[in-house]
Amino acid sequence: MTAHDQMRAMLDQLMGTGRNGENNRFHVKFNDPRVCKSFLLSCCPHEILSSTKLQLSNIR
C-alpha cells in the first residue's frame, strides 16, 4: 500500500467516502418547503430561543 493509498484510507475513515462531493445524497434546494427560511437569514427562532428552554432534566 503506497503512502497515497494510506492517506486516502485515513481521509475516508475520517471524513467519509463522499468528502469530495461525489455522493451528494441530499438534493434539497433552498426554496424547498422543508428548509427553514429564517435560518437562511440567520434569525432562526429555534437557535435564538435555544438558551431559554426549560431544562426538564433539572426538575425533580
pLDDT score, position 43: 84
CA 36 to CA 30: how far, in whole Å?
Answer: 9
Residue length of the chain: 60
- Tell me the pLDDT of the chain averaged across its residues: 76
11-28: per-residue pLDDT in tens?
A: 888 887 777 666 556 677
Provide the CA 44 distance to its chain's centre, in angstroms. Answer: 16
60 pLDDT exceeds 70?
A: no
Cell of 38: 429564517
